[in-house]
Amino acid sequence: MQFLANKVCVVTGAARGIGRQIALTLAEQGGSVVINYNASRDAADALGDELQQKGVQSLVVQANVSQMGDAKKLIDAAVEKFSKLDVLVNNAGITRDGLLAIMKPEDWQAVIDTNLSSVFYTTKFASKAMLRNKFGRIINISSVVGLMGNAGQANYAASKAGIIGFTKSVAREFAQRNITANVICPGFIDTDMTRQLNEAQVNAAQAQIPMKRFGSPLDVSNLVAYLASDLAGYVTGQTIAVDGGMSMA
C-alpha cells in the first residue's frame, strides 16, 4: 500500500543529501514530487530523470527560496503542473559557521534568509493552495542544533530554532483547516557533509550519541513520509528529533 498516492509533494533543497532521499521516499509512497534546487542543477536533473524512469510524475524547478519571488515561482509551478499541492517539505539550508565575535553580518543574514525566511515564504504561498484543497501537510526540517545550540553556529542555531517556533504558530493557525505542520530535527546523519569529518571528529560526535552511530537519510525520510500521510492526521505542532537520542533531556 502506498500512503501518498495522488499526493503532490514539494521538497526544497531536494538535489542532494537528506532532501534527495526525502524526494525518493515520497515518490516510493506514491507521491508526485516537485524537486527544488538552487545551484545543483545536474544533481536535480539526475534525480528527476530517476523518478521519471520509475514512472513517477515529477517536476524540477530552480528557485532560490531565500528570495520571496523565487519561492512564489516554485509554488506556482507546482500548482500549475499538478493543479494542487498537498505536501510541503522545507529542507533547504546552508551553514556559514564562525564564532560569534568574528561572525560577519552577511554570514548571519545569509543563513537566516536561506534557512528561516525561506520557510516563511514557501509556507505562505503553499498554504493558499492547501486551504483551497482543504488538505495540507507542512513538514519543516530543523536540526538538533536548534534544540541544543552549538558553539560556532549561532546563526544556524537561531535559524533552526526559529523554524520550531514558526511551525508551532502555523500549526495553531491551520489546526481546524485539515492542515498540519510539524518539525523534524535531524542529528548527525550520514551525508556528504558528515563524510568530510575526520576520524577524531566522528569519534567525538558519536560519543554524544547514545546509539553511538550516525543516522541515515532514510531515517529522516521515513518520518517525513509518515507525517505527510493520512496516518498522521492527528499529529500537528510537534518537534521530533531523529538523532539517536543525542538531544534527549
pLDDT in tens, 84-111: 999 999 999 999 999 999 999 999 999 9
CA distances from 85 to 7, 9, 102, 141, 163 (A): 8, 7, 42, 18, 21
Q: Interior CA angle at 14 toward 147 and 202, to 5°?
A: 50
φ/ψ (deg, to 5) at 10:
-105, 130
**Cα 65 to Cα 60, 109, 166, 202, distances in angstroms:** 14, 14, 17, 31
d(CA 216, CA 130) in angstroms, rounded, equals 30
Please report the pLDDT score of residue 249 as a whole number.
66
CA distance 21 to 2: 17
Distance between the two ends of the chain, CA-based, in angstroms?
36
Low-confidence ranges of the chain (pLDDT < 70): 249
Is residue 156 flagged as an active site residue? yes
8 bridge partner residues: 32
Residue 15 DSSP symbol: S
**pLDDT value of residue 192:** 80
Residues 6+ apart with CB under 8 A from 133: 84, 85, 86
- What does the alpha-carbon distance between residue 123 and residue 12 come to, in Å, rounded to a whole number? 11
**12 touches 122 (CB < 8 A):** yes
Q: Please give the pLDDT value at position 223.
A: 98
Q: Which of 121, 156, 226, 234 is catalytic?
A: 156
14 vs 10: CA distance, rounded Å: 9
pLDDT value of residue 106: 98
